[in-house]
Amino acid sequence: MASVLSRFIRKRAAPVTSSSQNDGSLDPSPSIVKRNEKYDAEIGVRGNSGASDSDEKKTSPAIDPDDSEEDLPDDIKEIPLIVRKIVSLEDDPTLPTITFRYFVLAFFFVAPGAVLYQMGLYRTTSSAYPVLFVQIASHYCGLWLAKVLPAWEIRVPGTKWSFNLNPGPWSPKEHVLVTVTAASGATSNAAWSTISLAQLYFDTKIPAAACIFFMWAIVFLGYAMAALVRQLLLYDPIYVWPYSLMQTSVFETLRKSSTDSWIARKQKYVFFGAFVAVFFWQFLPEYVFPFLSSLSFLCWVAPHNEIANFIGGGIGGMGFLNLSLDWSNISTGTLTNPMIVPFWTTAVLSVAFVVNCWILIPAAKWGNLGSWKHSLMSNRIFLENGTRYPVDSLMTPDLRFNVTAYEELGPIYMGTQTIWSLFFDYASYISALTWMILFGWPQIKATLGKIRERTKSRGKETVNETYNDRLNVLMRAYKEVPLWWYLVLFLVSFTTIITILGCGYFFIPIWTFFVALFTTGLMIVPFSWLYSFSAFQVPIGSFNELLYGYMIQASSTHRHPAGASAYGSLAGDIWYRAQYMLQDQKIGHYCHVSPRAIFFSQIFGEFIGVPINYGIIQWVIKEKRDYLLGLRTDSLNQWTGQALANYYTYGVQYVLVGPKRLFAQHMYSPSPYAFLFGAGAPFVIWSLHKYVPQLKFLKLQLWNVTIFCSGMSVFYGNLSTGYISRFIVGYISMRYFLRKRFETWRRYNFLIAAALDAGFNFALLAMFVIFSSGKVVVMPNWWGNNEQSVERCFALDS
């Protein structure tokens, strides 16, 4: 197979050349840093440079890890220090990539992931299927296949093509491609909510072909639109993509583990030691000893004092001086592992937590912040008297808004914390664009200049030849993905969605699809730019559903409540998929894998995963329908469909009631100013940074408004523990060790980070299978698992 595809992915290797020095900073505003500073500008790292060991065939000179900065070749100096300390700067372009073994392992790992991930969305507790697990397991499965498969040459009947079942030793590039395929396909699809809502709540079944092609199309639109920022953010070495770097660290460790190097063996022992340790540890806070998940010191001092419990409680309280020993509360899905993101990202998020929980919440509870004093720690909607709002009564049998019921019940009320969460959610969206223009434009302008110069050469140069760092020099050996591939992918997906919407499926007017494309295209650059150096993914929240609600209010048709989630799946998932594609392509760049092979693996993963997703959706709806609708009670209390119920509520709020009615009350009056705040706050910080040099010590360029607003938009009413622990872990890992113990940091930090995440997720999967997949096994109550309060805050309202 490798021989068949060699012309597809590889071209003649170019000789290694040196170049003049280029940007090597990791600063979120690279133009602010002097051009000759070869260190991480936001954390002030300096040190010796080197490259990882390699037993592969070399296409570039070896680098001595002890070489000083001055002794390094120019093409090495251009690579940021933390990258060249982790990524191999040697390559063998002849290693196999897309092989028979790749296809076997791709099917093996994608299928169960797509099943578990999709099924979990309907359950109260979902199983985990982490990509880090695939990354580890696929390596050893590949080694096993390389030993047991016969080296038979198989000819494709009727063609001249052939492939070998076992083309030699297991290749690190095969390993990368299997992992990328699983990251693409072993997930869910955003359209699941629309399909489920229509079928469950409104008895409207969309044809299977329309569903599957719609699911494919929204993913491939995201992949195609990644081309908008690919040349801006993927090849310039200044953009590190921290999560991609972490996964590359694991790839490198597993690759080198087969050598006799003592350092390589030690790294392997550290990785699997941390993996096993956290795997068994997580059974304590998650099941046996949940007291460890929230250490509320104030509750220990005054366990029956209501005020002390509210201030110190981490489960329904402010979380003041609260620590957590549960890794799930430290490395959250929303905020990412603190051992991966730069410390300044963790610091900004910690400030947002302090402002939210320790300043605004007490001001709302005991002060004059907010006019409606009910349900501060709840994010549901209520009647004026504080009781739950009966959303179902607002809809007539023919899916129209019940004006009479609304007039009888009165307007919808939300807790004050929910209102400011919405405010900062909207502000974060627009602030990303403003911040990028102010702080990132000089670097982006320089990159655009390089692209224009290459365009003037009429395509004679590839994008890798625009940059002269060693990584781009190595990638010149491979054929690039041509722009027309992305254009074809876009046109096919675009035509598919237009056709499906034109046939009346998925409940939204065609013109709103163009709005979704425009808003996504506008924001994909600032969101990707921010993620490329901060590893922070801006959560879209309910902004898209709100926008759809405003657009649809002028229409007398297309008022189906499921339309809000359909629009959200288009406008939201396109951006997320674009980011995932760029992230995985950066892994391919770091691991010297052909861009065309990476592109194929991402598309192939979705072709496997989407039909499986749809099959599971239909199975769940058929077998668990009564449980999901609340007509029958699940004895295990698992098939509750609580996530789907939230989408249902959004549909009623934004489509039937409408934003105009929803926000007509005085309590919602600050919401429109969120966009003004998001646009203006970055300008204030930029002005202080540029014109008040006395404030240079504050490093204002790191106080990213988008990250702060996203942290403020998190709802902390259910869980406010883990954030101090997160700050401590981030400081030790990404501040102290990175500055003071850099060699130790570069060898072990990302490995331990990956091991902790993988061990935690694998423990969740094990607990799901052991305690929840069949008969639920409940942990008996004892002192460390108190029935009333696991953190022993007995006076805290539940």
The per-residue DSSP string of 120-179 comes to: HTTSSS-----HHHHHHHHHHHHHHHHHHS---EEEPTTSS-EEES--SSPPHHHHHHHH
Q: How far apart are CA 584 and CA 241, in angstroms?
A: 10
β-pairing, 381-382 vs 322-323, is unpaired
Buried b (16+ CB within 10 A) or exposed e, 590-603: bbbbbbbbbbbbbb
Q: Which residue type occupies 558? A: H
User: Facing residues of 162 across strands?
Assistant: 155
Q: What is the pTM of this model?
A: 0.83
β-pairing, 295-296 vs 413-414, is unpaired
Max intra-chain CA distance, the chain:
81
Q: How far is CA 8 from the centre of its chain?
A: 31
Q: Which residue type occupies 321? A: L
Q: By CB neighbour count within 10 A (0-12 exposed, 13-18 middle, 19+ buried), where does 645 fall?
A: middle
Radius of gyration for the alpha carbons in the chain, expressed in angstroms and rounded: 27
The label of the residue with tokens 């010796």 reads: 48
Q: Are 412 and 652 in contact (CB under 8 A)?
A: no
pLDDT at 40: 41
Query: Tokens in use for 780?
Result: 């008996």
Listed as ranges, residues in the chain with pLDDT below 50 are: 1-10, 12-66
For residue 201, CA distances in Å to 169, 417, 562, 628 come to 53, 29, 9, 10
Nearest to 491 by CA among 234, 207, 223, 215: 223
Q: Is 769 helix (H, G, I), strand (E, B) or coil?
A: helix
How does DSSP assign 321-367, residue by residue? TEE---HHHHS-TTT--TTTS-HHHHHHHHHHHIIIIIIIHHHHHHS
CA count, 13 A, side-chain hemisphere, 530: 31
- A 10 A CB-CB count for 557 gives 8
Q: How far apart are CA 218 and CA 235, in angstroms?
A: 26
pLDDT at 128: 60
The label of the residue with tokens 């995985």 reads: 584
Q: Are 701 and 331 in contact (CB under 8 A)?
A: no
Q: How far apart are CA 562 and CA 195, in angstroms?
A: 8
pLDDT at 544: 87
Q: Are 310 and 789 in contact (CB under 8 A)?
A: no
228's CB contacts (< 8 A; 6+ apart) are 521, 524, 525, 578
The label of the residue with tokens 């309202």 reads: 797
> pLDDT digits over 412-444, tens only?
888 898 889 889 988 998 898 899 999 988 888
Q: Is 569 helix (H, G, I), strand (E, B) or coil?
A: helix
123's CB contacts (< 8 A; 6+ apart) are 638, 639, 640
pLDDT at 15: 38
Q: How far apart are CA 714 and CA 453, in angstroms?
A: 43
Helix (H) or strand (E) holding 277, with range, is helix 262-281
Q: How far apart are CA 641 and CA 633, in angstroms?
A: 12
> pLDDT digits over 708-732, tens only?
999 998 888 878 888 999 999 999 9
For residue 313, CA distances in Å to 359, 588, 720, 721, 729 come to 15, 44, 8, 8, 21
Helix (H) or strand (E) holding 708, with range, is helix 705-713
- Hey, where are the domains in the chain? 100-257+475-660
Q: How far apart are CA 562 and CA 557, in angstroms?
A: 13
User: Facing residues of 388 across strands?
Assistant: 382
pLDDT at 52: 38
For the chain, how far is it from start to end, CA to CA, in angstroms?
A: 60
User: Facing residues of 296 across strands?
Assistant: 322
Q: How far apart are CA 565 and CA 645, in angstroms?
A: 12
pLDDT at 638: 65
Q: Which regions of 614-678 does DSSP assign to beta strands (E)?
A: none
| Alpha-carbon torsion (420, 422, 425, 431), positive or negative | negative
Nearest to 109 by CA among 132, 84, 77, 75: 132
For residue 770, CA distances in Å to 24, 63, 115, 333, 638 come to 49, 49, 18, 23, 14
Q: How far apart are CA 409 and CA 417, in angstroms?
A: 23
Q: Which residue type occupies 350? A: S
